[in-house]
Structure 1
Amino acid sequence: MPQTDSDDATQVTSPAWPGWRIATATCIRFYSRLPVPALPGENPHALPDFRLVPRALPFAALVIALPAALIALLAGLAGVNALLTAALAVTALVVTTGAFHEDGLADSADGLFGGHTPERRLEIMKDSRVGTFGALALGLSLLLRVSALAAILQGAGAWTVAAAVLVAAPWSRVEGIRILATTPPTRRDGASAAVGQPEHSVLPIAYGLSGVLALLLVAAGALPLAGIVLGLAVSALTTLWLSRTAIRLIGGQTGDILGAAQQLSEIAIYLGLAIVIGWGGR
């Protein structure tokens, strides 16, 4: 049957792949406060097109996490107190990202658990003020991340805690992309809807690159395999729970939910590693 003009009009045009350099720069710029110069052929002020760009998110996440990993490594090698070293590393993560993901976690906690209807929950999530649930979520997130990293440092040393930061950074952000790709946006005019839904090839590539990094660090002896497996498994379950909870309570995902997914995943990976190392699984 011949194709009509109306058929052409309804076809969705596949985006052009911008290249790994531009895609990585776009992700760094979107997910952090790090200064990234404009590259030839890109518009740094345009809204990112996340239909293909998150393929490069693991590379961007490594750049974003590198200052925190270096701080953890140097402080750990210098014999700085484990709790202080972990606090410095988490502080570096917060500063580098401009509390981008922490803001999403706080707004998600306030909205999901502070309202009684989907409309009210979404209204709370748009409010810039932090409520009780948001403050508790932020406090617990910081406490769990610092405590887990301190336990990793005490149990396995500076190289392992730096490796933990580098592994968690890409995987946790790809978990947010997983929700973006598999859960409908609750607001058609929201940020998560505006950036576009990732294509089918994005998640396998992004997860694959993140997994390869984890395996390389395991092979180098920096991380225990059992800890990685446990951390990633808990991360996957946490993301699944968050996605289903968001669908049930607000009808889909928002940008805040994606930020919350990153935070919960990062905590899960640190906890998995800390538990296994605490058991002597070095």
Structure 2
Amino acid sequence: MRFALGTLTVLPVGVPRWDRGSARRGMEWAPFVGLLVGLTAAATGLLALLLGTSSLLAAVISVAVPAVLTRALHLDGLADVADGLGSAKPAGEALRVMKRSDIGPFGVLTLVLVLLAQVAVVNELYGEGGWAQGALAVVVSCVVARTALTLAARSGVPAARPDGLGALVADTVPVRTAVLVAAGVAVVSAALGAVVNWWNPLFGAVSYLFAVVLGLAAAELLLRHCRRRLGGVTGDVFGALAECAATVALVVLAFG
């Protein structure tokens, strides 16, 4: 748990062990970290609504909180991966592009579109679906984002580089464990969707189930593309997968 909190948030928990054993357990606990981040983001957004702000401002705040709690590392990873893949260069050169500190046009465009999509969906749910719908969507999207990390750290997925956080956590989580974690997240999300949509629980359950499944499916497609283009995963790839899963899950909920 401390490894997960220490690597996936800014919380000063201290990480006493920095090895593949603790990395495995940390990646298995990643969805729980997403739950903590999501609850914080949802609570902050709801506080803004209670104070009389517009649903749009509350949505911006809810989207900003996860970025603050992660030092925007996932967003940075998304931008780097967009630049690396968008360069259309061989794996080695693409990895060098991703390692640079600057952000190119592909990265900027991707960040703008992703953040706009997230804010737009949360704003719609806060404004039309009600505070409970918006809050649950924020929480579930954060959990789905970290569940994508658990799946990406499963056995058989290699690291693209021999060093860095990606190399430490890659190929550590047993496939069965990763699948069970993802299935548990899907079932719990569907149950909460049914509760929030109490007037039509079946629709609510199906909506949130689809959001989780499609969010993780989109992250899996991106993961496979990164494996083909880059040869494996990096810390940046993990960040991109998280943002991809969260955004797709939110967009799916917008159609509900």
What's the TM-score once normalised by structure 2's chain length?
0.88
Q: Which residue of 1 aligns with 2:166?
A: 192
Against the structure 1 CA distance between its residues 101 and 248, is the aligned structure 2 distance closer, same or farther, given a 3 Å change threshold? same
Say if 1:28 and 1:64, in contact at 8 Å, map to a contact too. Answer: no
Q: Which residue of 2 aligns with 1:233?
A: 213
- CA-to-aligned-CA distance 1:118-147 (integer Å, 9 cap, x gap): 111011011111111111111111111101
Shift of 1:240: 2.5
2:224 match: secondary structure: helix
- 1:82 is aligned, of 52, 55, 65, to 55
User: Does residue 217 in structure 1 map to residue 197 in structure 2?
Assistant: no
> Could you tell me which amino acid in structure 2 is paired with residue 248 of structure 1?
R
Structure 2 distance, partners of 1:52, 1:25, is 10
Say if 1:25 and 1:60, in contact at 8 Å, map to a contact too. Answer: no
Q: Which runs of structure 2 are paired with 1:10-49 in the superposition (5 Å)? A: 24-36=1-13, 43-44=15-16, 46-47=18-19, 49=22
Shift of 1:105: 0.2
> Could you tell me which amino acid in structure 2 is paired with residue 143 of structure 1?
L
**Structure 1: gaps spanning 5 or more residues:** 1-23, 277-282
Against the structure 1 CA distance between its residues 236 and 45, is the aligned structure 2 distance closer, same or farther, given a 3 Å change threshold? closer
Against the structure 1 CA distance between its residues 209 and 35, is the aligned structure 2 distance closer, same or farther, given a 3 Å change threshold? farther
Structure 2 distance, partners of 1:202, 1:73, is 34
Say if 2:145 and 2:246, in contact at 8 Å, map to a contact too. Answer: yes
Structure 2 distance, partners of 1:32, 1:256, is 15
Greater mean deviation of Cα atoms: 188-197 or 264-273? 188-197
2:181 match: secondary structure: helix
- CA-to-aligned-CA distance 1:59-81 (integer Å, 9 cap, x gap): 22211222211012222344421
Q: Which residue of 1 aligns with 2:39?
A: 66
Say if 2:144 and 2:216, in contact at 8 Å, map to a contact too. Answer: no
- CA-to-aligned-CA distance 1:68-99 (integer Å, 9 cap, x gap): 11012222344421111100111111111110
Say if 2:24 and 2:169, in contact at 8 Å, map to a contact too. Answer: yes
> Could you tell me which amino acid in structure 1 is paired with residue 9 of structure 2?
S
Q: Which residue of 2 aligns with 1:143?
A: 116
Shift of 1:47: 4.9
> Could you tell me which amino acid in structure 1 is paired with residue 220 of structure 2?
L
> Could you tell me which amino acid in structure 2 is paired with residue 46 of structure 1?
W
User: Does residue 260 in structure 1 map to residue 240 in structure 2?
Assistant: yes
> Could you tell me which amino acid in structure 2 is paired with residue 183 of structure 1?
V
Against the structure 1 CA distance between its residues 233 and 209, is the aligned structure 2 distance closer, same or farther, given a 3 Å change threshold? closer
Structure 2 distance, partners of 1:60, 1:210, is 13
Structure 2 distance, partners of 1:59, 1:116, is 37
User: Does residue 248 in structure 1 map to residue 228 in structure 2?
Assistant: yes
What's the TM-score once normalised by structure 1's chain length?
0.81
1:244 match: secondary structure: helix
Identity among equivalent positions (%) equals 29
User: Does residue 168 in structure 1 map to residue 148 in structure 2?
Assistant: no
2:152 match: secondary structure: helix
Q: Which residue of 2 aligns with 1:21?
A: none
- 2:87 is aligned, of 109, 114, 119, to 114
- 1:125 is aligned, of 80, 83, 98, to 98
> Could you tell me which amino acid in structure 2 is paired with residue 131 of structure 1?
G
Larger-gyration structure (1/2): 1
> Could you tell me which amino acid in structure 2 is paired with residue 30 of structure 1?
T
- Structure 1 outlier segments of 4+, above 4 Å: none
1:220 match: secondary structure: helix
2:196 match: secondary structure: coil
Higher helix share: 2
User: Does residue 54 in structure 1 map to residue 1 in structure 2?
Assistant: no
Aligned pairs, number:
248
Say if 2:187 and 2:209, in contact at 8 Å, map to a contact too. Answer: no
